[in-house]
């Protein structure tokens, strides 16, 4: 809980600075690249999370790797996070920042989960359908999950629609269970 509050405070500070200087999209893109590096390079993440490495060494590494690609004010927030040993909540800060950015840019992110990769025709159909439902710009992220067996699941932070075969089979199993139990009791 405390980590989420601290992350939200950092995200608000970054967002309001970016908004005041017309840099919301630019800093959002830089933040995304930083998080991508955090995710893709576990040794880098381990370096920044290590208690054995000094704050000065971490700050020097930040400057050597990211100085050319990060806005100076954004970089100073990351240095501040290192100084106060908050760098471990960087993914939470990014998540909070992304919500603020999406709201500001009127974007609604939607995931479509299917058992097979969507071809362009299906992708466009879902994009068109969701654009009619929402007044916001839709960013559709397709995800393949063979475990749903067929059908699809559409979800975002504000809704969830499960039309998967796995879900339907689970509902059917529950109905049979109820019918069997009702028969035993009578």
Domain end point (choices 88, 103, 118)? 103
Q: Report pLDDT for 180.
A: 86
Tell me, yes or no, whether 113 and 82 share the same domain. Answer: no
Domain end point (choices 76, 103, 130)? 103
Tell me, yes or no, whether 96 and 140 share the same domain. Answer: no
- pLDDT digit string, tens, across residues 11-57: 999 999 999 999 999 999 999 999 999 999 999 999 999 999 999 99
User: pTM higher than 0.85, yes or no?
Assistant: no
Range of the domain at 164: 106-185
Residue 64: C-alpha distances to residues 47, 49, 61 (Å) = 14, 17, 5
Relative orientation angle of helices 2-20 and 72-83, to the nearest 10 degrees: 160
Domain count, the chain: 2
- pLDDT digit string, tens, across residues 44-65: 999 999 999 999 999 999 999 9
pLDDT reading at 87 higher than 90: yes
Tell me, yes or no, whether 94 and 122 share the same domain. Answer: no
Tell me, yes or no, whether 81 and 49 share the same domain. Answer: yes
């Amino acid at each position: 809980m405390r980590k989420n509050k601290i992350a939200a405070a950092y995200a608000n500070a970054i967002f309001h600075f970016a908004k005041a200087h017309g840099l919301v999209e630019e800093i959002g893109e830089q933040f995304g690249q930083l998080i991508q590096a955090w995710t893709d390079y576990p040794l880098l993440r381990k370096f920044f999370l290590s208690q054995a490495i000094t704050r000065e060494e971490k700050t020097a590494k930040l400057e050597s790797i990211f100085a050319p690609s990060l806005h100076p004010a954004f970089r100073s927030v990351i240095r501040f996070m290192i100084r106060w040993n908050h760098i471990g909540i960087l993914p939470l800060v990014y998540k909070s920042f992304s919500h603020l950015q999406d709201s500001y840019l009127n974007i609604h992110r939607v995931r479509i989960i299917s058992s097979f990769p969507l071809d362009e025709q299906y992708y466009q159909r879902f994009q068109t359908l969701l654009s009619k439902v929402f007044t916001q710009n839709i960013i559709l992220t397709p995800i393949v999950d063979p475990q749903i067996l067929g059908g699809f699941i559409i979800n975002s932070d504000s809704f969830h629609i499960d039309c998967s075969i796995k879900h339907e089979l689970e509902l059917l199993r529950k109905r049979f269970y109820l019918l069997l139990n009702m028969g035993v009791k009578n």
